[in-house]
Amino acid sequence: MSLVLDKVSMHVGGHTHIEQVSLTLERGSLNVLLGPTLSGKTSLMRLMAGLDKPTAGRVLVDGRDVTGVHVRQRSVAMVYQQFINYPSLTVYENIASPLRVARRPKAEIDRKVREAARLLKLEPYLDRTPMHLSGGQQQRTAIARALVKDAQLVLLDEPLANLDYKLREELREELPKIFAASGAVFVYATTEPAEALLLRGNTATLWEGRLAQFGRTPDVYRRPANITSARVFSDPPLNTMRVHKRGAQVVLDTGDTEAARGVLAGLPDDTYTVGFRADHLYLRRPDAEAIAVTGTVAVSEITGSESFVHVDVPRADGGSDRWVAVSRGVLDVEPGERIEVFIDPRRVFAFGHDGALAAAPPLAVAA
């Protein structure tokens, strides 16, 4: 099947939940809805499923207008972050329930239940009821029930959030394979850019109920269409700075003047917002082309394998910007310490006055 959202909007009590979103999701595709809390991911899924009716726009399935058609009349399976299981049924019967409702043959039910249980590491728990399971085991049961249903549209709303790290990594690897083989349209909501990159497929970046960009996940990450999409797809947050291009030079918001190099070299004279991710802000000079900026350490976080250094960078107008740099290993810096950080002009995005992308790194260096 194909699913098309045609300029759908949803307004509730004077509040905008979704505004003019258009998307086309193809058969057999994995589509990630990426955005922070309250960006509209769950609202959009409810419109796709038929749980809610849009206040404007249409929902089409295989070219047929199903706007307002109830979820019970659609081939939909949905898994929420907060798992929902039948408390009186065993894990086996929870997973089998949609197949029994569909009156599938007994042998087919048993085969599909056991395949799903094996994939989701539930084989030892098939005879238990949900009250005798951990939260992660209950969530896996809900995911298994959705997978065996063979629905044409499968919606997963942050389904791995309650699982332990190891199992999340295993399922992130396995789920795309299942999605590709099923022929269904899969929609997966997450707040985590890293999860979107691991799942690949397509990604829609959402902000305050609006669609910022939709495309192949690597393309959206490497070439954000606008500054909103770049911010949604950056964790830690995107670092930004205004620059003024003047011929062969750029004047930074810090008041410093630098040669226009890298991405900035080919831009017409104008004022731009430059964005760069935390792993492209360096604490040691990467090469002679790097732009050096002096700031003050605000916070230093050490995770063991990496150090996250938050730096306050003063602007010429008397304000300041907070940037985050990621460095491998343990970096011994203290709050209040003056520090130089370095920007690689080949690895920055430039956005115009309207927020649209004006220039981006070549794909060879954009990762």
What digits encode the pLDDT tens for the residues 240-278? 999 999 999 999 999 999 999 999 999 999 999 999 999
* Whether pLDDT at 364 is above 60: no
**The pLDDT of residue 179:** 66
Q: How confident is the model at residue 288 (pLDDT cuts 50, 70, 90)?
A: confident
CA distance 164 to 168: 6
The average pLDDT across 19-42 equals 95
* Whether pLDDT at 183 is above 80: no
The answer to whether 225 touches 254, Cβ cutoff 8 Å, is: no
CA distance 55 to 12: 9
**The pLDDT of residue 180:** 67
CA distance 196 to 189: 9
CA distance 132 to 141: 12
Which tokens go with 309? 């250094």
Which tokens go with 223? 């070439």
Domains of the chain: 3-230 (3.40.50.300), 237-365 (2.40.50.140)
**The pLDDT of residue 172:** 78
Q: What is the mean pLDDT of the chain?
A: 92
The answer to whether 280 touches 305, Cβ cutoff 8 Å, is: no
List the one residue out of 242, 270, 240, 246 whose CA is nearest residue 260.
Answer: 246
* Whether pLDDT at 49 is above 90: yes
Does an H or E element contain 187, and which?
Answer: strand 185-190
Residue 276, strand partner residues: 239
Q: Which residue has the higher pLDDT, 107 or 1?
A: 107
